[in-house]
Amino acid sequence: DTGVSQDPRHKITKRGQNVTFRCDPISEHNRLYWYRQTLGQGPEFLTYFQNEAQLEKSRLLSDRFSAERPKGSFSTLEIQRTEQGDSAMYLCASTSERGGTDTQYFGPGTRLTVL
């Protein structure tokens, strides 16, 4: 399977705990995006990387959120001191570096539930 993979698929945590999600993009893709989707809404952009550089962060990404892509391959998204409002589906997508016209391919997502 050469698609985008995400781990874990589901995460249940208690408020105040830290969680970390992992995304493995399609191997030849330089750009990696994180989105968040809540019930009844479309995905909302959080941040993106070109290789290992984080080039843009949404204002949705509070200081409790941090994302890394240390070697330009897989990426992690960490949420510290989780809140109930963080409950959502976290989606990762990847594309090549040619720019905005390239199709973004999504992983299956990580569903986070904060109790």
Partner 1 sequence: DQQVKQNSPSLSVQEGRISILNCDYTNSMFDYFLWYKKYPAEGPTFLISISSIKDKNEDGRFTVFLNKSAKHLSLHIVPSQPGDSAVYFCAATTFSWGKLQFGAGTQVVVTP
Under the rule (CB under 8 A), what is the footprint of partner 1? 4, 6, 31, 33, 35, 40-45, 48, 56, 91, 93, 95, 99-101, 103-109, 111
- Which tokens go with 47? 């941040």
Residue entry with tokens 């993106």: 48
Q: Least distance (Å) from partner 1 to the CB of residue 53? A: 13
* Cβ nearer to partner 1, comparing 40 with 85: 40
Q: Least distance (Å) from partner 1 to the CB of residue 15? A: 24
* Cβ nearer to partner 1, comparing 5 with 80: 5
Q: Least distance (Å) from partner 1 to the CB of residue 44? A: 7
* Cβ nearer to partner 1, comparing 12 with 17: 12
- Which tokens go with 111? 């569903």
The CA distance from 74 to 23, in Å, is: 6
In order of 15, 25, 51, 84, 90, the CA distances from 93 in angstroms are 27, 7, 13, 24, 10
- Which tokens go with 96? 């090549």
